[in-house]
């Protein structure tokens, strides 16, 4: 069963192969979602400072009754923290807000502040400074593992060139119709685990007739096909949902996509629009 399986990060830490994403689940609702997920066997919960729901996630963890050492909790450093001082303070603030002694994984959420996402400036010095704070927290035992998110090859090379601890994870947008194979290979060649957020393309995959036809042929749902696709690429999917029935079905992926169908899905026409989410930077939009 996928919920009981793990990847092993480059530092030896085990991370559950399927996580619960909590983006856009409000702080008041996320506690119940986390409890429902844990009740159904999820042990990997993903949040971020930018989601403004860390406290609710932590409340859900406490109220679930699960032992802390049985859970894998991830948060992400605010994309705007591009100095050692700001990053170090933000890491401590997450731990305080969540009332935790440590996080299992902390990521730099973006190489660029959200208001400047997609611009020419890659904030290389700021990312090196933020990474130095992450390394320090890691060595102090506040973080069991550290990584990045939304980093492309040049962003990773910038970190790797000066790091004393290399990133263990890069969390990026990967789903059927958006598969950056070269970036995935760049990470995997360096023993950096790729986590795939929005494996169902923020719901837009449900509108793709070719994907729907293939899912029907396998006797599974489109979300199940999308999650299985990421897993077969060696990635760790993070489907976001507050719906208990979706949590259950998302974890029922004990089937295999054929190599021929995987090749077809890798080369399916790229998605052009993410619906209401298209104004978000990671989906190609610009914050105003």
With beta carbons less than 8 A apart as the criterion, state whether 150 and 282 touch.
yes
**pLDDT level of residue 288 (50, 70, 90 thresholds):** very low
Structural domains in the chain? 2-283 (3.20.20.100)
Average pLDDT, the chain: 96
| CA 164 – CA 172 distance, rounded (Å) | 23
Q: DSSP class of residue 130?
A: H
| CA 121 – CA 268 distance, rounded (Å) | 31
pTM assigned to the model:
0.97
Q: DSSP class of residue 285?
A: -
Distance of CA 133 to the CA centre of its chain: 21
pLDDT for 287 beyond 70 = no
**pLDDT level of residue 284 (50, 70, 90 thresholds):** confident
Q: How many CB atoms lie within 10 A of CB 272?
A: 9
The catalytic position among 42, 51, 117, 197 is 51
Any alpha helices (H) in the chain, and if so which ranges? 27-39, 54-64, 84-98, 124-139, 153-160, 181-189, 209-218, 222-232, 244-250, 259-266
The percent of the chain in helix, strand and coil, each rounded to the nearest 5, is 45, 15, 40
**Bridge-partner residues for 29, per DSSP?**
none
pLDDT of residue 91: 98
| CA 148 – CA 27 distance, rounded (Å) | 23
**Bridge-partner residues for 21, per DSSP?**
46, 240
Active site annotation includes 102: no
**pLDDT level of residue 285 (50, 70, 90 thresholds):** low
First to last CA, the chain: 43
With beta carbons less than 8 A apart as the criterion, state whether 168 and 145 touch.
yes
| The two three-digit tokens of residue 169, written as one number | 């994870």
Summarize pLDDT for 13-42 with one digit per residue, the tens: 999 999 999 999 999 999 999 999 999 999
Please, what is the angle between helix 84-98 and helix 54-64, to 10°? 40
Nearest to 80 by CA among 54, 115, 38, 104: 115
Summarize pLDDT for 160-196 with one digit per residue, the tens: 999 999 999 999 999 999 999 999 999 999 999 999 9
């Amino acid at each position: 069963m996928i919920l009981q399986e793990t990847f092993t990060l480059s530092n030896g830490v085990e991370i559950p192969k399927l996580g619960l994403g909590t983006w856009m689940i409000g702080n008041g609702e996320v506690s119940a979602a986390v409890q429902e997920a844990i009740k159904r066997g999820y042990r990997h919960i993903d949040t971020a400072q930018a989601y403004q729901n860390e406290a609710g996630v932590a409340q859900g963890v406490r109220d679930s009754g699960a032992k802390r050492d049985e859970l894998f909790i991830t948060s992400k450093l605010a994309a705007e923290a591009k100095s050692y001082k700001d990053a170090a303070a933000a890491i401590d603030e997450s731990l305080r807000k969540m009332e935790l002694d440590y996080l299992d994984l902390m990521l730099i959420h973006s190489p660029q502040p959200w208001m400047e996402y997609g611009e020419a400036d890659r904030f290389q010095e700021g990312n090196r400074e933020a990474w130095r704070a992450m390394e320090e927290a890691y060595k102090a035992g506040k973080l069991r593992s550290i990584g990045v998110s939304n980093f492309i090859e040049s962003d990773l090379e910038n970190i790797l060139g000066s790091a004393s601890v290399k990133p263990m994870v890069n969390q990026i947008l990967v789903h059927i119709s958006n598969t950056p194979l070269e970036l995935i290979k760049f990470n995997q060649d360096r023993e950096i685990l790729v986590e795939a957020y929005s494996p169902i393309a923020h719901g837009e995959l449900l509108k793709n007739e070719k994907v729907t036809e293939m899912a029907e042929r396998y006797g599974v749902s489109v979300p199940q096909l999308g999650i299985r696709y990421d897993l077969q690429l060696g990635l760790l999917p993070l489907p976001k949902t507050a719906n208990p029935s979706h949590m259950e079905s998302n974890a029922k992926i004990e089937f295999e996509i054929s190599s021929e169908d995987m090749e077809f899905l890798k080369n399916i026409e790229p998605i052009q629009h993410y619906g209401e989410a298209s104004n978000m930077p990671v989906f190609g939009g610009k914050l105003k």
